[in-house]
Amino acid sequence: MRRARFMTVGGVHAGLTALILVLAVSTARAEEGPRRVIAAGGSAAEIVFALEQGDRLIARDTTSSFPEAVLALPDIGYVRRLSPENLIAMEPDLILAEHDAGPPETIELLTRAEVPLVTLPEAQTPADVLAKIRVTAESLGVRQAGEDLAARTQADLDRAAAAAAALPSHPRVMFVLSMQGGRIMAAGTDTSAAAMIALAGGVNAVDGISGYKLLTDEAIIAAAPDVILAMDRGGDLALEVADLVAHPALALTPAGEAAQVVRMDGLYLLGFGPRTGEAALELNTALQAVIAAGRG
Amino acid sequence: MLSAKDIRVSLGKTLVLHGITAEAQPGEVTVIVGPNGSGKTTLLRALTGDVPFAGQVHLNGQDCARLRPWELAALRGVLPQASVLAFPFTVAEVVRLGLTAAPHAGRPDLVPRALAAVDMAGLSTRLYQELSGGQQARVQLARVLVQVWEPVVDGVPRWLFLDEPVASLDIAHQLGVVRQMRDFARRGGGVVAVLHDLNLTAMAADRVWLMDQGRLTGQGGVAGVLTDAALERAYGCPLRVGRLPPQGGWFSLPQAAGAA
Amino acid sequence: MVALDAGYPLGDRDAQARVAMIALSVALVLTAGLSLSHGASGVSLGSVIQSLATGEQMAARDRLILWEIRLPRMLTGVLVGASLAVAGAVMQGLFRNPLADPGLVGVGAGAGLGAVVAIVLGGLAPVWVTQAVGYHLVPVAAFLGGWVSTLLLYRVATRSGRTSVATMLLAGIALGALAGAATGVLVYIADDRQLRDLTFWGLGSLGGASWPKLLAAGPVMALALVAAPFLARGLNGLALGEAAAHHIGLPVQRVKAVAILTVAAATGAAVAVSGGIGFIGIVVPHLLRLATGPDHRFLLINAGLAGAVLLLLADLITRSIIAPAELPIGIVTATLGAPVFLWILLRRRGMVDL
From first to last of its 260 residues, chain B has per-residue pLDDT tens of 999 999 999 988 899 999 999 999 999 999 999 999 999 999 999 999 999 999 999 999 999 999 999 999 999 999 998 888 888 899 999 999 999 887 777 788 899 999 999 999 989 999 999 999 999 999 999 999 999 999 999 999 999 999 999 988 999 999 999 999 999 999 999 999 999 999 999 999 999 999 999 999 999 999 999 999 999 999 999 988 988 888 888 888 888 888 77
Does residue A176 sit in the same domain as residue A134? no
Residue A278 lies in a domain: yes
Q: Which of residues 293-322 of C touch A (CB under 8 A)?
A: 319, 322
Say if residue C123's pLDDT is above 60. yes
**Res C7 pLDDT > 50:** no
Chain C: closest CA distance from residue A77 (Å): 4
Preceding peptide of A103 cis, ω within 30°: yes
Which pLDDT score is estimated for B15?
92
- Domain of C278? 2-352
* Integer Cα distance of A70 and B36 in angstroms: 83
Q: Give the mean pLDDT of chain B.
A: 93
Shared-domain flag, residues A192 and A278: yes
Residue of chain C with shortest Cα separation from B45? C243
Chain A contact partners (≥3 CB pairs within 8 A): C
| Contact flag C42-A89 (C-beta cutoff 8 Å) | yes
Q: Does the structure show a pLDDT above 70 at A285?
A: yes
Residue C348: what pLDDT?
64
The CATH number that applies at residue A115 is 3.40.50.1980
Same domain? For A110 and A186 the reply is no
Residues A145, A181, single domain; the answer is no
**Chain C residue set in contact with B, beta carbons under 8 Å:** 9-11, 13, 93, 96-98, 233, 236-241, 243-244, 246-252, 289, 293-295, 351, 354
End position of a domain, from candidates A133, A158, A183: A158
In a shared domain, residues A203 and A108: no
**Residue A4: per-residue pLDDT:** 40
Q: How far is CA C257 from the centre of its chain?
A: 19
In a domain, A268, yes or no: yes
Q: Are residues A208 and A264 in the same domain?
A: yes
- Kindly list the residues from chain A whose CB atom is less than 8 angstroms away from the CB atom of residue C68: 109, 112
Domains located in chain B, CATH noted = 2-86+152-236 (3.40.50.300)
Q: Band the pLDDT of C343: cuts 50, 70, 90.
A: confident
DSSP A21-82: HHHHHHHHTTT---SSEEEESHHHHHHHHHTT-GGGEEEE-TT---SGGGGGSPB---TTS-
Residue A1 has pLDDT above 70, yes or no: no
**Global pTM exceeds 0.90:** no
pLDDT tens per residue across span C249-305: 999 999 999 998 898 889 888 988 888 888 898 889 998 998 899 999 999 999 999
Residue A112: Cβ within 10 Å count: 14
CB contact under 8 A, A80 and C196: yes
- State the smallest CA–CA distance between residue C330 and chain B in angstroms: 28
C188 to chain A, closest Cα gap in Å: 7
How much is the pLDDT for C124?
A: 77
**Cβ–Cβ below 8 Å for A4 and C200:** no
Nearest-CA neighbor of C155 among C182, C180, C175, C179? C175
Torsion sign over Cα C103, C104, C105, C109: positive
A178 in a structural domain: yes
Last residue of a domain, one of A113, A137, A158: A158
Chains B and A touch (3+ CB pairs under 8 A): no
Domain that holds residue A112: 2-158
Domain count, chain A: 2
Residue A41 located in a structural domain: yes
Residues of chain C positioned with their CB less than 8 A from the CB of B94? 240
Amino acid at A33: G
Interface ipTM above 0.90: yes
Report the residue from C69, C135, C196 with minimal CB separation from A84.
C69
- Assess whether A28 and A99 both reside in one domain: yes
3-state secondary structure of C205: coil
- If one counts every other C-beta atom within 10 angstroms of the C-beta of residue A240, the result is 12
Residue at a domain's end among A158, A182, A201? A158
Provide the domain count of chain C. 1
What burial class does residue A166 get, using C-beta atoms within 10 Å of its C-beta: 0-12 exposed, 13-18 middle, 19+ buried? Answer: exposed
Contact C325 A80 (CB under 8 A): no
- Residue A117 makes CB contacts below 8 A (sequence gap 6+) with A14, A18, A94, A95, A97, A107, A110, A111
Is A164 within the bounds of a domain?
A: no
Domain CATH for C108: 1.10.3470.10
Query: What pLDDT, in 10s, does the model give residues B47-77?
Result: 999 999 999 999 999 999 999 999 999 999 9
* pLDDT value at residue A171: 94
Q: Which residue of B has its CA nearest to C253?
A: B69
Give the model's confidence band at C4: pLDDT under 50 very low, under 70 low, under 90 confident, else very high: very low
Q: Please check whether residue A163 lies inside any domain of the structure.
A: no
As a whole number of angstroms, the distance between CA A122 and CA A296 comes to 41
Answer yes or no: do B88 and C241 touch at CB < 8 A: no
